[in-house]
Structure 1
C-alpha cells in the first residue's frame, strides 16, 4: 500500500499579471539601446572543431544503396571542377579547392559564407 500526498493542481486562471508592479530600475535594465562592451573572445580560440571538406553528396534510397557493390557508380550532385563545401562541425563555412602541401591534402578557401562568421561572432 502506497501513500501519496495530494498536491493541488496549478490553475492558470488564478494568474493575474496586472497585479505585478515593476519599478523604474527594472525598465532601465531592459533598455538595450546603449552599446554593450565588447567581450574578450580569446577563450574560444582554443576550442577544437572539426573541419570537413565535402566533395559532393547524393540522396539515395536505402534499397538502391543495398544493390550497390564493387564497381558500382553513384552519381553525385557536383560537377568536376566545382568548388567543394567546407563544413565546420557540420555547418557550411564556405567553399574551397583541394591543394597538395608537403605531400598532404589541404584546402584553399575560395569564399566564406557570411552567416557562418556572423553566428560565430554573436
Structure 2
C-alpha cells in the first residue's frame, strides 16, 4: 500500500514513515498542501494521511484539492489532529474517512489502514 503523508512536522514524518515502512507500507511525504497536490497529480496512492493544521492550508482544503484530481477522487483519507476531539466532527463534514488524534496510537493506525484497504471502504465515511 502506498501512502501519501502530509505533515509539516519533521519528527512526525520520520516516526510515521519509519514505523509504516517497517510494517511493509510505502510512504511518500509532503510537507505542505502544494507539495501534496503535486504528488497527488502523479497518482498511485491507496491512502492519504493529512494533518489538519499546516502552515499553508488546513487539512480539509488539502483534501478537497486532492479529491478534485481524477487520480485521487476515491483515495481514502485519514485526518490527523493535535487538537484531539475538537477536530473529530470537522473531519466527517470535510469528507475524511477516518480520524486519528495525536499522539497517534500506531496499532490503531495499522487497524485503520487495514480497514481502509478493504474493498468498498473508500465509499464509507466513518471515524475510527
TM-score range, shorter chain: under 0.3
- Higher percent of residues as helix: 2
Report the TM-score when normalising by structure 2.
Answer: 0.19
TM-score for both structures, normalised by structure 1: 0.20
Q: Considering only CA atoms, is the larger Rg found in Structure 1 or Structure 2?
A: 1
